[in-house]
């Protein structure tokens, strides 16, 4: 069957294309072909058959430029479509028979494909496997980058882990301890780019932040930290960031220096196995300076409202820039006092815990602490009241009593809070707050003869010469009490159950104010607490009671040398002196040296006949039968122990 004219022309074009491909694949033939084309172009130009654009008329120029634009547009379109495919693609030669072949059983007219579409179809079929391999490789690379970003976020320099047992977050059944960022994300992104080989955008960096790494909140700010712990923590962290030591915090330092972190001998450097252990310092250059912070107290002169100069003590966080060797020497001087500090924490906590678990029927533990004064408020306040000085405050002395409850036949904690419109926190105020507290303990258990007090150790409140005197005078109002011990927690580590009592009361008052209840005076505050708090006993202390107690305290008491080291004060009714110890010990008797090495000295008490005591508050107290007072021998030698007369 004869071919049509269109088929013959298509056959000729395919033949020419096949011949051109053969020439192009042969370098010699291709060079000869190019030479002929150049000669032909030169000849046409000499014969004025090939004109440049400057030699053409304006109409011809516009027509040619439009043609160029159209060709450029098609060229860019081809590049755009080809960019989705790899550059290195083997182009299969198209045979004439394949292009001209038609399906004999086709009922539809064949769709004529352009050369470009044919080429795209060939490329698409050729790179299907290459695309899948590329996608797999990209997914693996992306996962590696995400894991590297997660590791960066978990670094202790970038985020700090929370210590609370309830500080965790769960997502997709994965529970993680919360971490809080130490800097804004923009700063951390710059740190990532400068310190690692990762090149990721800021949006990618923020998008793949782990769900347990959170932005810090103002409520997460610690405001009652121990100064000794904080200072050594800052110094250790600074040396760790400078790659001088391998310990990140004080816990790791204690674990490295001691074979047992809670062993007294190890902490006091008396253990044979670990007393000679030292920190391992890495190589460092002493030419570069090291900067860290330190909390310390400074004295400044200030002007009072009357224009009088007055010296005042301020606590500041002072930046220190020094050489690494000087910082190491500073750390070495802090290690032994810090280990002794940790030992006091462990001993006091363990001793008081064992005491609570093994209380007898005649004993009670009273844990006391002053809560921060509560500022009275109204549901709606005018501006002059809100920013002025008209707001009143209430003092909260919170406590928890541990004693036998005969209704349940076991030791039961009872929460009590004594509140007063007088916001004094001195020894006289503490004495007045203790009276209703002891009464409540005797109402719970009338067989109590021994009281064990537990408190924190601020010098201005519980640990001073006035409180030592008050401990010896409680017997005047409660004749049934024969022994008293006052135990102090280590400085900066006095948080306990009473803090929770104060938090409940303040939250309750704030909640009622948010409901529209006005709590603007002391009486309304007491009324709100008694109405809405069931499990906390509220007692009121009047200001007159505090003033009366103040008149009973002598002003000429002598201080005890070593008061800052006192962690236990012991008294009993047959002794004329107090026993002071540097740690709590209930195994050794009062008036004796502690065989466990905790004895500090004795503090003699002389009753002042000129001081009158108030016995009116001793009603409703079960009195024991009178017993003869044991005489104190004066010819006993106390081995040069310090005895101070009050």
d(CA 228, CA 224): 12
The pair of structure tokens assigned to 64 is 């040619």
Q: pLDDT value at position 609?
A: 46
Each domain of the chain, given as residue ranges in start order, spans 139-220, 227-344, 359-645
Separation of alpha carbons 308 and 87, rounded Å: 86
Find the mean pLDDT for residues 612-623.
42
Which pair of tokens denotes residue 367?
């844990």
Note the pLDDT of residue 544: 92
Asked whether the predicted pLDDT for residue 624 surpasses 50, the reply is no
458 pLDDT exceeds 70? yes
pLDDT at res. 113 = 63
**What confidence category does residue 95 fall into, taking pLDDT thresholds of 50, 70 and 90?**
very low
Beta bridge partners of 483: 450, 572
What percent of the chain is predicted at pLDDT more than 90? 41
CA-nearest of 412, 498, 493, 427 to 457 is: 493
The predicted-structure confidence for 166-198, as pLDDT tens digits, reads as follows 788 999 988 899 999 988 999 999 999 998 888
**Torsion from C-alpha of 103, 107, 112, 115, nearest 10 degrees:** -30
Check residue 84 and give its pLDDT. Answer: 61
Q: pLDDT tens, 114-159?
A: 676 677 777 777 666 666 666 676 777 888 899 999 999 998 788 8
Average pLDDT rounded to a whole number, residues 547-560: 89
Residue pair 365/356 in contact (Cβ under 8 Å)? The answer is: yes
Between residues 427 and 305, the one the model is more confident about: 427
CA separation for the pair 474, 436 (Å, rounded)? 12
Residue 612 has a pLDDT of 43
The helix or strand, by DSSP H or E, that contains position 290, with its residue range, turns out to be strand 290-303
Look at residue 511 in the predicted model and tell me its pLDDT.
92
Q: Which of 13-27, 65-79, 92-106, 336-350 has the lowest mean pLDDT?
A: 92-106
* DSSP three-state, residue 432: helix
d(CA 351, CA 587): 10
Q: Is the pLDDT of residue 635 over 50?
A: no
Under the banding of pLDDT at 50, 70 and 90, the label for residue 425 is: very high
Spatial CB neighbours of 449, under 8 Å, sequence gap ≥ 6: 362, 363, 480, 481, 482, 483, 624
Residue 612 corresponds to which tokens in the numbers above?
Answer: 């009158």
Question: Which pLDDT belongs to residue 634?
Answer: 35
Q: Assign residue 269 a region (left: φ > 0; alpha: ψ between -120 and 50; beta: otherwise).
A: left
Q: In whole angstroms, what separates CA 548 from the centre of its chain? A: 45
Instruction: Report pLDDT for 542.
Output: 92
| pLDDT higher than 80, residue 639 | no
CB neighbour list of residue 564: distance below 8 Å, 6 or more residues apart = 459, 463
Average pLDDT of every residue of the chain: 84
User: Mean of the pLDDT values across residues 342-366?
Assistant: 92
**What's the pLDDT at 394?**
94
- Of the CA atoms within 13 Å of residue 285, those in its CB half-sphere come to 3
pLDDT at residue 436 in the model: 94
Q: What's the rounded Cα separation, in Å, for the pair 110 and 10? A: 15
Interval 592-601 mean pLDDT: 88
Q: Taking each helix axis from N to C terminus, what angle separates 128-153 and 115-126, rounded to the nearest 10 degrees?
A: 60
Helix boundaries (H) for 478-557? 497-514, 522-532, 543-551
- If you average pLDDT over residues 417-441, what whole number do you get? 93
* pLDDT of amino acid 129: 61
| pLDDT tens digits, 478-525 | 989 999 999 999 988 888 889 889 999 999 999 999 998 999 899 999
CB-facing half-sphere around the CA of 328: CA atoms within 13 A: 18
């Amino acid at each position: 069957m004869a071919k049509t004219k269109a088929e013959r022309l298509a056959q000729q074009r395919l033949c020419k294309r096949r011949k051109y491909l053969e020439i192009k694949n042969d370098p010699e033939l291709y060079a000869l072909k190019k030479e002929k084309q150049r000669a032909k172009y030169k000849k046409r130009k000499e014969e004025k058959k090939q004109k440049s654009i400057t030699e053409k008329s304006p109409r011809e120029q516009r027509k040619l430029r439009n043609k160029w634009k159209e060709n450029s547009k098609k060229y860019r379109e081809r590049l755009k479509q080809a960019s989705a495919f790899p550059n290195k693609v083997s182009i299969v030669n198209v045979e004439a028979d394949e292009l001209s072949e038609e399906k004999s059983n086709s009922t539809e007219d064949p769709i004529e494909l352009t050369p470009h579409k044919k080429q795209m179809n060939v490329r698409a079929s050729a790179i299907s496997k290459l695309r899948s391999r590329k996608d797999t490789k990209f997914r693996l690379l992306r996962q590696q980058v995400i894991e590297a970003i997660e590791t960066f976020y978990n670094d202790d320099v970038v985020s700090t882990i929370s210590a609370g047992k309830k500080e965790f977050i769960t997502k997709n059944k994965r529970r993680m301890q919360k971490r809080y960022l130490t800097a804004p994300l923009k700063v951390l992104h710059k740190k990532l780019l400068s310190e690692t080989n990762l090149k990721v955008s800021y949006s990618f960096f923020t998008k793949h932040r782990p769900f347990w790494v959170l932005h810090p909140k103002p409520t997460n700010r610690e405001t009652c930290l121990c100064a000794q712990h904080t200072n050594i923590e800052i110094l250790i962290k600074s040396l760790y960031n400078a790659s001088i030591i391998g310990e990140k915090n004080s816990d790791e330092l204690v674990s490295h220096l001691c074979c047992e972190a809670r062993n007294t001998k190890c902490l006091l450097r008396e253990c044979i196995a670990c007393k000679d252990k030292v920190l391992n310092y890495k190589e460092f250059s002493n030419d570069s300076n090291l900067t860290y912070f330190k909390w310390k107290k400074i004295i400044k002169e200030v002007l009072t409202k009357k224009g009088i100069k007055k010296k005042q003590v301020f606590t500041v966080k002072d930046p220190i820039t020094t050489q690494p060797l000087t910082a190491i020497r500073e750390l070495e001087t802090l290690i032994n006092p810090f280990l002794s500090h940790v030992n006091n924490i462990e001993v006091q906590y363990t001793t008081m815990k064992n005491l609570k678990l093994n209380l007898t029927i005649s004993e009670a533990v009273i844990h006391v602490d002053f809560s921060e004064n509560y500022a009275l408020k109204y549901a709606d306040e005018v501006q002059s009241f809100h920013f002025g000085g008209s707001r009143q405050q209430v003092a909260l002395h919170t406590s928890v009593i541990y004693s036998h409850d005969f209704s349940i036949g076991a030791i039961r904690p009872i929460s009590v809070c004594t509140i007063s419109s007088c916001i004094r926190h001195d020894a006289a105020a503490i004495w007045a707050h203790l009276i209703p507290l002891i009464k409540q303990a005797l109402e719970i258990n009338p067989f109590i003869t021994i009281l064990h007090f537990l408190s924190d150790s601020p010098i201005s409140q519980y640990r001073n010469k006035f409180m030592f005197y008050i401990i010896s005078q409680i017997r005047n109002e409660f004749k049934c009490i024969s022994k008293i011990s006052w135990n102090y927690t280590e400085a900066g580590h006095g948080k306990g159950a009473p803090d929770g009592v104060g938090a409940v009361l303040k939250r309750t008052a704030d909640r009622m104010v948010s409901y529209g209840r006005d709590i603007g005076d002391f009486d309304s505050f007491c009324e709100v607490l008694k109405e809405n708090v069931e499990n906390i006993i509220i007692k009121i202390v009047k200001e007159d009671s505090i003033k009366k107690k103040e008149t009973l305290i002598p002003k000429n008491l002598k201080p005890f040398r070593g008061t800052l080291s006192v962690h236990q004060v012991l008294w009993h009714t047959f002794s004329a002196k107090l026993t002071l110890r540097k740690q709590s010990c209930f195994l050794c008797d009062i008036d004796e040296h502690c065989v466990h090495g905790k004895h500090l000295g004795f503090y003699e008490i002389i009753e002042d006949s000129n001081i009158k005591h108030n016995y009116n508050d001793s009603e409703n107290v079960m009195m024991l039968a009178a017993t003869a007072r044991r005489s104190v021998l004066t010819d006993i030698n106390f081995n040069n122990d310090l005895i101070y007369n009050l």
